Amino acid sequence: MSGDIKQALNLETGKISWPELQRYFAAGRMLVVDGSLDLVEVAALFATDDAPEVAALLEGEQIAPASTAQARDWQETNPEFWAVVVAPWVLTQKISPNRTKCAFAQKSKMPIKPLIK
C-alpha cells in the first residue's frame, strides 16, 4: 500500500468529540475501528478499495457500524475520538488515555490537528 496514501490520510486524521460525530452516527456513516488496529492503515484499505481486507475486518468485528448502545454510552461519557473521512464513511477510534496519537502518527512522527475547528 502506498505510503503517500497513508501520509495523506494521516494529515486528514484528527480529534473530534462525540457531539460533533452524532450527525454521522444518525446518518449511518460512522464506523468504529477496534483500538488494536491502526486507524490510518484501515482508512487506507477503504481508500484503495481493498474489499477482501475490509470484508475480513468487518467479519471479524474489528470494524463495525457504531451501535445504539455505544451511542448511549458516548452520550453519557462524551469521549473524544480519532477520525478520518473516507467518503462516505467516517472511520473513528475512541481515544484511550494511554494513546495520545494515532498509531501511524506515532510511527511517522507526523503532527496531529483537530478535525473540526
Question: What is the average pLDDT across 94-98?
Answer: 82
21-64 pLDDT, tens digit per residue, is 999 999 999 999 999 999 999 999 999 999 999 999 999 999 99
β-bridge partners, 35: none
Q: Is 84 in contact with 9 (CB distance < 8 Å)?
A: yes
pLDDT at res. 97 = 73
Which of 26-35, 58-67, 87-96, 106-115 has the weakest average pLDDT? 106-115
In terms of pTM, does the model score above 0.75?
yes
Q: Is 54 in contact with 113 (CB distance < 8 Å)?
A: no
Evaluate if residue 109 carries a pLDDT over 90: no
Evaluate if residue 103 carries a pLDDT over 70: no
pLDDT at res. 99 = 57
Evaluate if residue 111 carries a pLDDT over 70: no
The pairing of strands 30-33 and 113-114 is unpaired
Instruction: Determine the Cα–Cα distance for residues 43 and 51; give it in Å rounded to an integer.
Output: 12
Query: Going edge to edge, which strands form the sheet with 89-94?
Result: 63-65, 30-33, 89-94, 80-86, 14-17, 113-114
Sequence-ordered alpha helix ranges (H) in 27-101: 39-47, 51-59, 68-77
